[in-house]
Amino acid sequence: MKRFIFLVSALLLLAYMPCQSQNDVSRILFFGDSITAGNGVNKDEAFPALIQEKVDSLGWDFNVQNGGLSGETSAGGLRRIDWMLQQPVDVFVLELGGNDGLRGIEVKATKENLQKIIERVQSKYPDARIILAGMQVPPNLGQQYTRDFKQMYADLAEKYNLPFIPFILEGAALDPDLMQNDDIHPNAKGHEIVAENVWEVLKPVLQNMRS
């Protein structure tokens, strides 16, 4: 079943890949789980599509590629990262770990997986800019786990000197007007908030690349 889901996601991703040559445009890859994939909203309402709109409104030559996969864990992301890196990547936005937290996976294991993903991107594309998006989990697994999980992202951002989005759902989480009924996934309005959180960190990176 997991293999089937992976193959379907791969085919969908190919369908959204741009037709331009690699020299025409720089690629921004959002690599994440259901938050990135836009679970429960239309593809054009998910925050990566909203980022593309922001980029296009400025006339910048960047193409956003949505590499989100619903249900993805950090271990699953590590398994598919090499396939995703077959296409050149100029900006890599890593949004993974939320499902690990919901499952109570050991923070150390999640951190190691995210480290390996970062290092594989750096090894394959040394000039690529990597942005790390943080996630937080509810305290039902204990205050210590909640604190360690949140700190994990800050530690990774510091270790690899990465631009950092501390909490990608900041301003949307816990707001019933911005979240779907599951209280996990943002609705269309929530994705607008997420896009602003991402854009605040991503825009300066893109500006720097253009200068």
**pLDDT computed for residue 20 by the predictor:** 39
* Over residues 32-45, mean pLDDT: 98
DSSP state of 139: G
Give 83's contacts (C-beta < 8 A, 6+ positions apart). Answer: 10
Mean pLDDT of the chain: 92
Query: What are the pLDDT digits (tens) for 129-160?
Result: 999 999 999 999 999 999 999 999 999 999 99
Cα–Cα nearest to 74, from 135, 23, 1: 135
**Catalytic (active-site) positions:** 34, 182, 185
- CATH architecture of residue range(s) 26-210: 3-Layer(aba) Sandwich (3.40)
DSSP state of 45: G
**pLDDT computed for residue 3 by the predictor:** 53
Q: Which residue ranges make up each domain of the chain?
A: 26-210
Q: Taking 60 as the threshold, does the pLDDT of residue 17 lie above it? A: no
Tell me the pLDDT band of 18, cut-offs 50, 70 and 90: very low
**pLDDT computed for residue 85 by the predictor:** 98
pTM of the model: 0.89
Q: Taking 70 as the threshold, does the pLDDT of residue 113 lie above it? A: yes
